């Protein structure tokens, strides 16, 4: 692991970082028992990176020789170690990222859950035995680890996304090299310390799960490094495109989880008792800083006014405050830059014909707090509607027909998550079918956010096409060989070719 970086003042100067943060930070860090060293408060440099990669590659040689079920046992122990510190880790996520405490704990729970999933998977991964057309021959698929998996994660989920990648990559036989966001460096160090202790207690090198802390120079080095057998990147579409080009230039493998401009569609037959809390959670949860946040809400014209009125009333009841307070539902944005993006987007929405129903302003209190915002009156193809702003702004739009609104859902460049609310069985299956949603996550009567770890997570188009977590996403962390074994004394050729 490289040198510990200077902690950034990211989330929110929450209740003035000097007040609320200092009030609990010292006790929190002591409770975690991670003994974080503050002697060298600086980011790692490229020399540190080089040393870390070498150690990770050496550690992989040890890890790859361990049978998959035994690797699963180590991952199980990692999950248990995270369970033991779930509340203090959740508090640290809340402190450094700015999300409310219950979401911070829930994020660590995701890592625990995917560890449990990976343990079972460690006894199931493998390829088929295929029928050979040649007598005395066996045809099998052999799956082997790719080697070293680089994982670059974003600030908004500083624990869970690494967990999705590392737990699956590890049972597949890979070593991991993690670069977390610079603004959530304490979380990265804390998680890595927990994992390293489990590895070392099992007399395994801690470098199997290495950490590099640094800025864009480290990320660029990872993207260009041919020793990085797979690079998993979570972040913006803009940066993801640059990463993809650098990895492809060396014919490397990448797994991209990028932006999402997600929509909820509400038909006239929808159960509004489901719609209102779903739209609220999807648009306001994590202060709009999820890649699966609902940014567009399409309402059938017959229920538009009713839903907007009920939603505005619900917005007015959102409890805003210190994310460590158990009564808080909505905390600050992560950085001051995010506040500026929020204000710019609201202004653009007004200029393009939108009306702010509620919110739209900065909250007068210490920290990066803004009002959760609803904007109506914009056309479906307004430029700002097609722009992903990582902030709690929900654009509410009217529609008349199913066909047009399905097309509007699909017309944005991203293709991550989507939801409809309806009781029409035929419409549900049309939504799931080839002319329905073009997203990687397609929901019915639930919001766009809150995915379970058992299903593959990811999206299409400018979302990058990557898949993490459940289903068969394990295949992305392995390489496949088609193997033919001749156990006869003859040499028949395929397709009946005679070569004599």
- Kind of pairing, strands 460-461 and 414-415? antiparallel
Closest by CA position to 97, among listed 16, 36, 179, 186: 186
CA distance 127 to 201: 32
Residue 287 CB partners (closer than 8 Å, separation 6+): 98, 99, 330, 331, 332, 333, 370, 372, 391, 392
Q: What is the DSSP letter of 494?
A: G
What phi-psi label fits residue 399: left (phi over 0), alpha (psi between -120 and 50 degrees) or beta?
beta
CA distance 202 to 74: 8
On whether the CB atoms of residues 324 and 91 are closer than 8 A, the answer is yes
Q: What is the CA radius of gyration of the chain?
A: 24
Q: Residue 26's CB: how many other CB atoms inside 10 A?
A: 10
Please indicate whether residue 200 is annotated as part of the active site. no
Helix (H/G/I), strand (E/B), else coil: 371: coil
Closest by CA position to 284, among listed 393, 157, 364: 393
On whether the CB atoms of residues 124 and 429 are closer than 8 A, the answer is no
Residue 178 CB partners (closer than 8 Å, separation 6+): 150, 151, 152, 153, 162, 166, 188, 192, 209, 210, 211, 212
CA-to-CA dists, residue 205 to 58, 61, 147, 151, angstroms: 9, 10, 15, 19
Length of the chain as a residue count = 500
Residue 279 CB partners (closer than 8 Å, separation 6+): 264, 266, 294, 297, 307, 311, 394, 447
CA distance 438 to 432: 9
Strand (E) positions, 239-392? 254-257, 262-266, 294-300, 355-358, 373-376
Residue 86 CB partners (closer than 8 Å, separation 6+): 105, 108, 109, 112
On whether the CB atoms of residues 108 and 86 are closer than 8 A, the answer is yes
On whether the CB atoms of residues 92 and 186 are closer than 8 A, the answer is yes
Catalytic residue (one of 110, 257, 371, 468): 257
Here the tokens at position 72 are 């699963």
Known catalytic residues? 257
């Amino acid at each position: 692991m490289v040198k510990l970086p200077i902690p950034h003042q990211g989330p929110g100067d929450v209740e003035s970082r000097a007040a609320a943060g200092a009030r609990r930070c010292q006790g929190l860090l002591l409770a975690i028992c991670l003994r974080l060293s503050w002697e060298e408060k600086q980011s790692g440099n490229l020399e540190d990176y080089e040393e870390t990669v070498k150690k990770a590659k050496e550690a992989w040689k040890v890890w790859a020789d361990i049978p998959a079920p035994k690797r699963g046992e180590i991952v199980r122990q990692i999950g248990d170690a995270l369970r033991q510190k779930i509340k203090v880790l959740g508090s640290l996520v809340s402190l450094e990222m700015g999300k409310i405490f219950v979401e911070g704990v829930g994020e660590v729970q995701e890592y625990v859950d995917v560890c449990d999933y990976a343990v079972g998977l460690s006894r199931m991964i493998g390829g088929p035995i295929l029928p050979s057309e040649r007598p005395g021959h066996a045809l099998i698929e052999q799956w082997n680890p790719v080697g070293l998996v680089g994982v670059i994660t974003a600030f908004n989920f500083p624990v869970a996304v690494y967990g999705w990648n590392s737990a699956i990559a590890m049972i597949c036989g890979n070593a991991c090299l993690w670069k977390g966001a610079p603004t959530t460096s304490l979380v990265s160090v804390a998680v890595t310390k927990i994992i390293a202790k489990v590895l070392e207690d099992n007399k395994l090198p801690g470098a199997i799960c290495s950490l590099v802390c640094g800025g864009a120079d480290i990320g660029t080095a990872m993207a260009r490094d041919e020793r990085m057998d797979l690079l998993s990147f979570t972040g913006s579409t803009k940066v993801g495109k640059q990463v993809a080009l650098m990895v492809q230039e060396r014919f490397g493998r990448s797994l991209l989880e990028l932006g999402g401009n997600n929509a909820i569609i509400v038909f006239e037959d929808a159960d509004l008792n489901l719609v209102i809390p779903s739209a609220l959670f999807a648009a306001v949860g994590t202060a709009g800083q999820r890649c699966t946040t609902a940014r567009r809400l399409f309402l059938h014209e017959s229920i538009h006014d009713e839903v907007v009125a009920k939603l505005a009333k619900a917005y007015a009841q959102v409890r805003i405050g210190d994310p460590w307070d158990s009564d808080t539902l909505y905390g600050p944005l992560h950085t001051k830059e995010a506040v500026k993006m929020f204000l710019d987007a609201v202004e653009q929405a007004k200029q393009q014909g939108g009306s702010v129903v509620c919110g739209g302003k900065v909250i007068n209190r210490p920290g990066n707090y803004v009002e959760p915002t609803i904007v109506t009156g914009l056309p479906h193809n307004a430029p700002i509607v097609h722009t992903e702003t990582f902030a709690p702004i929900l654009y509410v739009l009217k529609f008349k027909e199913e066909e047009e609104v399905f097309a509007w859902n699909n017309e944005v460049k991203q293709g991550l998550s989507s939801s409809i609310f309806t009781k029409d069985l035929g419409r549900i299956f049309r939504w799931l079918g080839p002319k329905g949603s073009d997203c990687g996550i397609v929901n019915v009567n639930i919001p766009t956010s809150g995915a379970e770890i058992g299903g593959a997570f990811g999206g299409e188009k400018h979302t990058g096409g990557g898949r993490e977590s459940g289903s068969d996403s394990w295949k992305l962390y392995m390489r496949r060989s088609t193997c033919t074994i001749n156990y006869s004394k003859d040499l028949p050729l395929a397709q009946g070719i005679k070569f004599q």
